[in-house]
Chains A and B, each alone.
Chain A
Amino acid sequence: MEPVLRVEALRKSFTLHNQGGIALDVLDAVDLTLRPGECVALDGPSGSGKSTLLRAIYGNYLVSSGRIRVTHKGAAIDMAAATARQILDIRRHTIGYVSQFLRVIPRVPALDIVAEPIRARGHEYESARAEAERLLRRLNLPERLWHLAPATFSGGEQQRINIARGFAVAYPVLLLDEPTASLDADNRRAVQDLIGEALARGAAIIGIFHDAEMRARVATGTYRMSEAKAA
């Protein structure tokens, strides 16, 4: 299988201009290849740049050098050199991202937050909502919460909305940042099933999994961040 994502010689450093111009080198020479059906778990201590790598792949962080080549609509595009419009199109169709925390939009109900990526691909409101309902039901989010804005929800409830949103569309590439950190055993299993189904349909996944059992069940390989830094 051809890779869908190739990270090549990726470096990322942050320059803090208002704190004496300190430079923090977070990623150094990351090389990683991902094929359909693979799930690579990022491994390394806190601060080793796992989340930074996911954010760089998603275009949320700029990279200092290197390339992030993703197969988008049949062509290879370098996320590190893509325009804002290309990145938005890649996020709509190719790369999904489940962050650790839900960014709540005032007044927008849970169901619409989950349905949004489906609608952004041009699907009708009704079918998008039906799919959103199916996911929220699988993740055991009580129906009475569906029509409420999640600002006041618990951490676990917000995280399930985030997960549902990330799995609402069949992205070829999925980035998961500790998707199960605040979930109970039943919901961890539900997420594990979603990940398994995504892999079975050919999705390629990079994840940060603190839950060792989850990692053992879904990961097909491991990428050690600390090794990358020492290299």
Chain B
Amino acid sequence: MSAPPGLDDAPLLSARGVTVTYGRRTGCRDVSFDLWPGEVLGIVGESGSGKTSLLGALSARLHPAAGSVRYRDRTGRVADVYRLTEPERRALVRTEWGVVRQNPRDGLRLNVSAGANIGEPLMAIGARHYGAIRAQAADWLERVEIAADRIDDPPAAFSGGMQQRLQIARNLVTGPRLVFMDEPTGSLDVSVQARLLDLLRRLVADLGLAAVIVTHDLAVARLLAHRLMVMQGGEVVETGLTDQVLDDPQHPYTQLLVASILQV
């Protein structure tokens, strides 16, 4: 289970006034928050609410028009992500972060083997010993519940759920401290979702990972996130402890979202 987030350590990621624009249109406006080690933050809201714009800006993929994103690396050094040089920024992403995309096809190389998909990021941070890389790939396949004898098969031959689990292995093999996830269960059937959610929950807790998870699915948010940010029209309208936001929503938009969940 989790190394519980301690109270006196410093934030891992600090966003201040983050604003993303597309020409005259606003993606997200003036978003500020701190993320602590081991903490899982859920960003919820409907499509078009600015969740994905914000995630892009936080994860160094979308240069914000205004504001800053600061990150404290494992040596304790704090970097202003958008003031780093491009090579420095790429090195930071490679060694400290993982990015899980909604569609596994965007996060995997479909025509090279599953083992190579897991091995590549290791090689990108300097691993060279073929046997060790392959052993780690096999170990990670097992951790994401993919049979080890599929190691030489290309993910193109995998089901959607397996592809998503492989993408998670590819992202976690390098031991990141922070993982960004965009609708990680969004492209999956409900029965496959439950398995992936359980897996994500366990991995995040066991590894003490911090995560920022964008989802429109409040049930996913309840299972995975410690804390929620609710977005509407590019702005954060409510934030708080996950169960408090979902059980006692304050903002009209959050109340509407919660009231709109279908019961089974």
Which residues does A use to contact B, with CB under 8 Å? 14-18, 55, 59-62, 84-89, 92, 105-108, 116, 119-122, 125
Q: Chain B: how many interface residues by the 8 Å CB criterion? A: 28
Q: A61-B247, A108-B198, A122-B4 are in contact. Are A87 and B255 (CB under 8 A)?
A: no
Q: What's the least CB distance linking A33 to chain B, in Å? A: 24
A-B contacts, 8 listed (Cβ < 8 Å): A17-B251, A18-B256, A55-B248, A89-B4, A105-B223, A107-B195, A119-B1, A122-B3
Give the contacting residue for A107; candidates B3, B39, B198, B255; CB below 8 A. Answer: B198
Residue interface mask B1-41, A partner, CB < 8 A = 1: 11111010000000000000000000000000000100100
- B139 contacts chain A at the CB level, 8 A cutoff: no
**Of B56-64, B99-107, B122-130, B238-246, the one with at least 4 CB within 8 A of chain A:** B238-246
- B94 contacts chain A at the CB level, 8 A cutoff: no
CB-based contact B247/A85 at 8 Å: no
- B76 contacts chain A at the CB level, 8 A cutoff: no
- Kindly list chain B residues whose C-beta atoms are within 8 Å of the C-beta of A92: 4
Q: A10 vs B4: C-alpha distance in the bound complex, in angstroms? A: 30
A-B pairs, top 4 by smallest CB distance, nearest first, are: A119-B1, A17-B252, A106-B194, A107-B198
Most chain A CB atoms below 10 A, which of B7, B198, B248: B248
- B89 contacts chain A at the CB level, 8 A cutoff: no
Q: A18-B256, A89-B7, A106-B194 are in contact. Are A62 and B244 (CB under 8 A)?
A: yes
- Kindly list chain B residues whose C-beta atoms are within 8 Å of the C-beta of A122: 1, 3-4
- Kindly list chain B residues whose C-beta atoms are within 8 Å of the C-beta of A16: 255
CB-based contact B5/A88 at 8 Å: yes
Q: A164 vs B52: C-alpha distance in the bound complex, in angstroms? A: 40
Q: A183 vs B247: C-alpha distance in the bound complex, in angstroms? A: 26
CB-based contact B227/A84 at 8 Å: yes
Instruction: List CB contacts (< 8 Å) of B207-264 with chain A.
Output: 223, 226-227, 240-241, 243-244, 247-248, 250-252, 255-256, 259
Closest to A14 in B: B248
CB-based contact B194/A85 at 8 Å: no
Residue interface mask B77-100, A partner, CB < 8 A = 1: 000000000000000000000000
- B148 contacts chain A at the CB level, 8 A cutoff: no
